[in-house]
Amino acid sequence: MFLRNCWYAGAWSHEVEGEALLARKILGERIVFYRKQSGGVAALTDRCSHRFAPLSLGRREGDCLRCMYHGLMFDAGGVCVEEPGRKVPSPRTDIRAYPVVERWKLVWIWMGDPARADPALIPPCPYIDSPEWACIPAYMHFKADYRLVMDNLLDFSHLSFVHANTLGGSNTIAEIRPKIDQLEGGVRITRWYLGEPELAPYLKGIERFRGPVDRWNIYEVALAGCVFEMDSGSAPAGTGAPDGRLAPEAMHFHSIQIVTPEDERNSHYFWMYAHNFDLQNAALTKMLSDRVEGGFVEDRTMIEAQQQVIAETGDSGMAYIHFDNAMSLYRRMLSKAIAQEQEQAAAG
């Protein structure tokens, strides 16, 4: 079950360069992305209208894509422009083209009604290409239902356990009660950990200060496109971070994590973890990104194992605990939005 009328991150811009054809399944639909010579990105259904050969095995010809089975050729709008041996292609040979917009170094794709594909609805992710922040755009694949990945993002209590030696570091994270706000299109979660004895393990070796820490994770998770956007950081304890005063040695981060469903049991994970200090230090950007990725691999191991158990036993009868507030709120909102969308589609 997916929300369809929204923009999903389909690829990083750098994944769609030159003559390459990028095959990627999104919401269970096979798509082929390619960069047009005239600029911009095309996204076509990765299935030829003739005998359903994948067009990702095809050949670029200018801005067109030729199926390399029997040679039908399609333009970037999905129109069949050539059928070998005929002046005009046979009827019903056109294929679906998806609306795409490139923004924030990402290729966004609209999987629903094309008439509603308004670029103004693309989620704001300005930290990705801001000159005041440094990050590395990254991708991972999860063999899990996107909702399990979202559950994980909506409940940071797991940092104390899954990430005890990486992103977490203390049981405080699980023990505090976050503030949860319902927004119009998602959820905001605010977590402060004041007076922690030391920085989290993933910051060891790149610390800008030592001693007790005031740490925060403040993030919003949108229903549309499953976009997680977080302001986080660590400051010397008692220097005013909770009141908005950041000490010069504070370590301030911004992270975007976007979970695009591949199908019911697999997910794409586009992410970046940006810092706004030592901007010219590429080694620092790389080290930070590698360490965060190490944390996400820990998530993936747990979530994929959880997915396997659920696949075998089903997911009814799960116990509900107080950590689950934000996760349940988000799931309820998502189910409602999907149901509304399906009702509208049925009525329309």
Q: Binding of Fe ion at residue 299 (CB under 5 A)?
A: yes
**Which residue in the block uniquely carries the two structure tokens 């030159």?**
18
Handedness of CA 84, 86, 90, 95 (dihedral sign): positive
Q: Which does 139 bind (CB under 5 to 8 A by kind): Fe ion, ligand FES, none?
A: none
Q: Which does 42 bind (CB under 5 to 8 A by kind): Fe ion, ligand FES, none?
A: none
A 10 A CB-CB count for 269 gives 22
Q: Please calculate the CA angle 197-201-203 and round it to the nearest 5 degrees.
A: 100
Piece of 50-58, 159-167, 185-193, 239-247 that binds ligand FES (CB under 6 A): 50-58
Q: Which does 82 bind (CB under 5 to 8 A by kind): Fe ion, ligand FES, none?
A: none
In the complex, the smallest distance separating the C-beta of residue 78 from Fe ion, rounded to whole angstroms, is 39
Q: Report the C-alpha gap between 257 and 72 in whole angstroms.
A: 38
Q: Which is nearer to ligand FES, 53 or 246 (CB)?
A: 53
In the complex, the smallest distance separating the C-beta of residue 288 from Fe ion, rounded to whole angstroms, is 16
Residue 234, CA atoms < 13 Å, CB-side half-sphere: 21
Piece of 10-18, 44-52, 290-298, 333-341 that binds ligand FES (CB under 6 A): 44-52
Out of 48, 97, 106, 107, the residue judged to bind ligand FES by CB under 6 A: 48
C-alpha closest to that of 149 among 5, 28, 310, 337? 310
Question: Please, which of residues 150-189 interact with ligand FES by CB under 6 A?
Answer: none
Q: Which is nearer to ligand FES, 53 or 101 (CB)?
A: 53
Residue 32 contacts residue 250 (beta carbons within 8 Å): no
In the complex, the smallest distance separating the C-beta of residue 192 from ligand FES, rounded to whole angstroms, is 57
Residue 137 contacts residue 127 (beta carbons within 8 Å): no
Q: Binding of ligand FES at residue 250 (CB under 6 A)?
A: no
Stretch 72-111: interaction string toward ligand FES, x if CB under 6 A: x---------------------------------------
Residue 167 contacts residue 161 (beta carbons within 8 Å): no
Q: Binding of ligand FES at residue 50 (CB under 6 A)?
A: yes
In the complex, the smallest distance separating the C-beta of residue 18 from ligand FES, rounded to whole angstroms, is 23
In the complex, the smallest distance separating the C-beta of residue 73 from ligand FES, rounded to whole angstroms, is 9
Out of 71, 185, 201, 294, the residue judged to bind ligand FES by CB under 6 A: 71
Residue 92 contacts residue 78 (beta carbons within 8 Å): no
Q: Which does 299 bind (CB under 5 to 8 A by kind): Fe ion, ligand FES, none?
A: Fe ion
How many chain residues interact with ligand FES (CB under 6 A)? 9
Residue 143 contacts residue 265 (beta carbons within 8 Å): yes
The single-letter code of the amino acid at 246 is L
**Which residue in the block uniquely carries the two structure tokens 């199908």?**
263
Residue 179 contacts residue 187 (beta carbons within 8 Å): no
Q: Which is nearer to ligand FES, 65 or 134 (CB)?
A: 65
Q: Binding of ligand FES at residue 291 (CB under 6 A)?
A: no
Handedness of CA 262, 264, 266, 272 (dihedral sign): positive
Q: Strands across the sheet with 186-196, in order?
A: 138-142, 266-275, 251-263, 227-236, 213-222, 186-196, 179-182
Q: Binding of ligand FES at residue 70 (CB under 6 A)?
A: yes
Q: Which is nearer to Fe ion, 145 or 299 (CB)?
A: 299
Residue 289 contacts residue 136 (beta carbons within 8 Å): yes
Question: Please, which of residues 208-227 interact with ligand FES by CB under 6 A?
Answer: none
The strand pair at 179-182 and 29-35 is best described as unpaired
Residue 113 contacts residue 233 (beta carbons within 8 Å): no
* Site residues, Fe ion (CB under 5 A): 299
Give the binding site for ligand FES (CB under 6 A).
Answer: 48, 50-51, 53, 67, 69-72
